[in-house]
A and B are shown apart, each in its own frame.
Chain A
Amino acid sequence: MVRKALDGQEVVTASAETLRVEALEVRLGENLVLKGVDLAVEPGEIVALLGPSGSGKTTLLRAVAGLLRPTGGRILLGKEVFFDGEKGVFLPPERRNLGLVFQSYALWPHRTVYENVAYGLRLRKVPEKAVRERVLGLLDRLGLTGLERRYPGALSGGQQQRVSLARALAYDPKLLLLDEPLSNLDAKLRDQARVWLRETLKATGKAALFVTHDQGEAMAIADRIALLNEGRMEQVGTPEELYRNPKTLFVADFLGNPNVVEALVVGLEGSTARLELAGFPLRARAMGALVPGRLAKLVLRPEALRPAGVGEVNALEGALAHSLYLGSHYEHWVRVGDALLRFYSPLPLGEARVRLAVDPEAALAYPG
């Protein structure tokens, strides 16, 4: 079924229009949920909206879909204005021509798979023959052949998800929106679905904006990630950019599950900071305006820490507090001063005291 999606022989008109969200504000009741968010989704691009719960990512998606009315800012797709707070323009969802895959899939239980997918085409008064061709073609591409007469209640979670995607794609929408598309699948299925979803989306050539709270999912599927925090955009960039060059402590802390410890800033040398942590001198990348003599937040990813070789500099030393066997690797907790640092190793460690080395490039220091 993955192969089939790759073929993509069906003609799809990749829209050449950019989605632009400008200074978007959404107020729900007393709550300012989005506080001036900017975002662009280029044609053919897959963008993930990532953030902790309550960060406003679903709100942003629903605002783009037209399911809620923002209080300020603008949303445009190409030249078409979806929403303009100043001019009081609000295009209702049915006139935006978007596809939306709901978290719950939201398949109509009283319609067959075929009728679910055909609905948007029927509304657009497409001739019955073309409807048939389009629906059966889509179902075939998504590996759903033979299920067209079934009702959604008789489908598995994975099948429902694909029907939901087929329904969103049926009327050739200008942009595809997906709300936590994989969250209802069980863990094993989800890993396969990531690959499948990315390939399928890429095969359609459509721009897609999808919400997720799972960073792994965002990194695997998206071309770019937009990381939201408390109604503001923290950083937008490729998964690698966000991971390697997180602009803020929040971004660094959110991606991966790093050690964040406090360290004293001793001095600055260009973009490198000299720090002191529990008596050990350490060099790290300065990620903001650090002030010598003040404390900084030091982000040390577990995967950046390794047992130091003989004579290696930029290292810390501490006592091994815990060692956990996790199947594919060991997870160790080392006490360095007041801080507990976590790192991995493929083999168990022999001794009770551990010296850990880190490349200065991989240690990130943020103003405390």
Chain B
Amino acid sequence: MVRKAPLAPSVPWPLALLTGAVGLLVLAPIGILVYQSLLTAPFFAPAKRFALEAYRYVLHDPYFLEALKNSFLIGLGMVLIAVPLGSLFAFLVTKTDLPFARLFELLLLAPIFISAIILGIGFIVAFGPSGVVSGWVESLLGHVPWTIYTLPAIAVIAGLTHVPYVYLYVASTIQNVDASLEEAARVAGARPYQVALSVTLPLVRPALVYSGALMLLLGFELFGLPLVLGDAKGILVVTTYLYRLTAITGTSAYHLMAAVSVLIVLIAFTLVLLQRYLVGRMEGRYVAIGARGYRTERLPLGRLRYVWAFALALYLLVAVVLPVLGVVFRSLVTSWGPGVDLREVFTLGHYAEVFKLPNLSRAVTNTLWVAAFGGLVALAFYLLVALGIQRGRGFGRVLDYLAGLPRAVPGLITGLAFLWIFLFFKPIAPWRNTLFALVLAYTVVWMPYGVRLLTAALLQVGREVEEAARIAGASPVRAFLHGTLPLLKGGVLTAWFLLFIQFVREYSTGVYLMTAGTEVLGAQIVALWGTGAVDVIAALATLQVLIVSGVFLLANRLGVRPQGL
């Protein structure tokens, strides 16, 4: 009775081709890492054999175990700081009559779009030993009552800068809570804060658990913050351990790097599975994560509303405004310290230097090119994958699974793996020196994010439009082009803006892949960090912030709402 032939515009073989391509893109990096980790020498070396030597070395290296412990502690700190704060802010902004809620909403999203490494540098510039804020506090109190170069400090800073990720998930879920559930509690005698604790937050528990697991995961993948903050005291986490591996061992440690990478991927993969398991168990009695609902009447906070607004403003000041302004400020002065006259040190020289040095100016243009053009390529690819997932039945499930895998592979490691792939396969080796290499790696790193954006957009359009076109006599492809695609425009535009921003912001994926000629802003900052060229770094960072804010404000005006990881 029901015709089994798919309504989808794809007959099986393009679908099979697509699945093959995604599989290759996703599995090849993991494959080469596993392969290299099992060798005793670089994969291109003539003399090599299979052994578990690399794992034995790494797992007995006290530095690695220390780094592993640090990563875990930082992740834990992030859970303990970001989940409560993010949930609190989400409740305040979406459910109460908090003043300036619109503005807070906008500012709260900022850290998602600013590289962690820039925020890290911002914290140093603002709150570091010779920082702008520290200096001011010292002149007030006689000493600075904090330090930012310790493990707890890194955990706190990581927690603060990741509040927005939790906020996004919890806020979008809270908006789905049926307002009458909260009204019922109020009529029964609950004050607004009792409503929050006894109804709203328990109902969004899946979102809380989900973002808790996300914090652990992001804690393990954290690279920029521990790189800049852990440096001074030699505090390593797993990613910076990987990055510094060559320096520590003093040898070209291909197999060790591969082994560390595989271990990180394994841990991340476990965390992703744990997240899915925990959230999957909670279906039914709670409000589902995701899609936005309608706005409802706001709970009155009474006289406390300004107190809460002040708390939120204080958070934003410490976690976003001061670090970002610190970076901007640093980019405009020659030096900074106690007793320096602002008029004397003001300069635009760092920017002049950026545009004078070819590798730095190239970083700016390359970044824009990768974000605009690469973003478009990635977008088209993700759209195909999303369509395949929605309509591919058996293939769809495989695609869904494959497209989600890169979640467990941090950008730094994907970049490393692609570097090796370009070294390994001679036919594509020349591409290593082109921006294509970066675009390819970025496309893989951001696949779970991009595919989810487009799957959600596809879901909103619904199949009826296309089915109506088919009934009216259109071919599958024509039905898609004339029926679904025009309605998809909004969702695709949103996805393109968000991908553009993420591609500008990306810094870890390019660390290993970047070559002379293919510099990009984020990776260039990482490379320069070792040289201590803070002036130029601040200028580059400011440029990145400017590009991202410009695009973000434009997108916001066009009604684009950000999506968390």
Interface residues of A (CB under 8 A from B): 65-68, 92-100, 102-104, 106-110, 119-120, 123-124, 151, 153, 167-168, 171, 177
Contacts and interface: CB of A to CB of B under 8 A. Distances in A.
B205 interface: yes
Interface string B292-306: 000001001000000
29 contacts: A65-B187, A66-B186, A67-B186, A67-B297, A93-B186, A93-B187, A94-B186, A94-B189, A100-B184, A100-B187, A102-B184, A103-B180, A108-B181, A108-B199, A108-B203, A109-B181, A110-B202, A110-B203, A110-B286, A119-B185, A119-B190, A120-B189, A123-B194, A151-B285, A153-B285, A167-B184, A167-B188, A168-B188, A177-B187
B66 interface: no
B69 interface: no
Given A106-B183, A108-B181, A123 B284 contact: no
A202 B282 CA distance: 41
Contacts of B198: 119
B143 interface: no
A110 B283 CA distance: 11
A114 to B, nearest CB: 15
Given A98-B187, A106-B178, A167-B188, 18 more contacts: A66-B186, A66-B187, A92-B186, A92-B191, A93-B183, A94-B186, A100-B184, A100-B187, A102-B180, A106-B184, A108-B184, A108-B185, A108-B199, A109-B284, A109-B286, A110-B286, A119-B188, A119-B198
Interface in B264-290: 284-286
A120 B187 CA distance: 9
Contacts of B300: 92
A65 B183 CA distance: 10
A99 B189 CA distance: 10
Interface in B157-191: 178, 180-181, 183-191
B183 A109 contact: no
A110 B189 contact: no
A68 B178 contact: no
Contacts of B199: 108
Given A109-B286, A110-B203, A110-B285, A123 B189 contact: yes
B189 A171 contact: yes
B286 A67 contact: no
A39 B189 CA distance: 25
Which of B180, B198, B286 has most chain A Cβ within 10 Å? B180
A103 B184 CA distance: 11
Contacts of B178: 104, 106
Interface of B: 178, 180-181, 183-191, 194, 198-199, 202-203, 205, 284-286, 297, 300
Contacts of B187: 65-67, 93-94, 96, 98-100, 168, 177
Contacts of B188: 94, 119-120, 123, 167-168, 171
By secondary structure, the B interface counts as: helix
The 6 residue pairs across chains A and B that have the minimum distance between CB atoms: A106-B180, A120-B188, A106-B184, A100-B187, A123-B189, A93-B186
A47 to B, nearest CB: 18
A153 B284 contact: yes
B3 to A, nearest CB: 34
A98 B187 CA distance: 6
Contacts, number: 77
Contacts of B180: 102-104, 106
Contacts of B183: 65, 67, 93, 100, 102, 106
Contacts of A108: 181, 184-185, 199, 203
Nearest to A98: B187
Contacts of A177: 187
Nearest to A152: B285
Which of A94, A100, A153, A177 has most chain B Cβ within 10 Å? A94
Nearest to B188: A120
Contacts of B284: 109, 153
A68 B190 contact: no
Which of B184, B199, B203 has most chain A Cβ within 10 Å? B184
B365 to A, nearest CB: 49
Contacts of A96: 187
A353 to B, nearest CB: 50
B284 to A, nearest CB: 6
A177 B183 CA distance: 13
Contacts of B184: 100, 102, 106-108, 167
B299 to A, nearest CB: 10
A289 B286 CA distance: 60
Contacts of B185: 108, 119
A93 B189 CA distance: 7
Nearest to A99: B187
A94 B187 CA distance: 5
Contacts of B191: 92, 94
Nearest to A95: B189
A103 B178 CA distance: 12
A131 B184 CA distance: 19
A359 B27 CA distance: 88
A346 B184 CA distance: 48
Contacts of B194: 123
Contacts of B297: 67-68
Nearest to B284: A153
Contacts of B202: 110
Contact of A94 (B181, B190, B203): B190
Contact of A123 (B181, B190, B205): B190
A299 B448 CA distance: 67
Nearest to B300: A92
Contact of A97 (B189, B205, B285): B189
Nearest to B191: A94
Nearest to A164: B184
B224 to A, nearest CB: 38
Contacts of B190: 94, 119, 123
A339 B286 CA distance: 56
A119 to B, nearest CB: 6
B186 A110 contact: no
Nearest to B204: A110
A207 to B, nearest CB: 16
Contacts of B189: 94-95, 97, 120, 123-124, 171
A67 B178 CA distance: 14
Contacts of B203: 108-110
A110 B194 CA distance: 16
Contacts of A68: 297
A93 B192 CA distance: 10
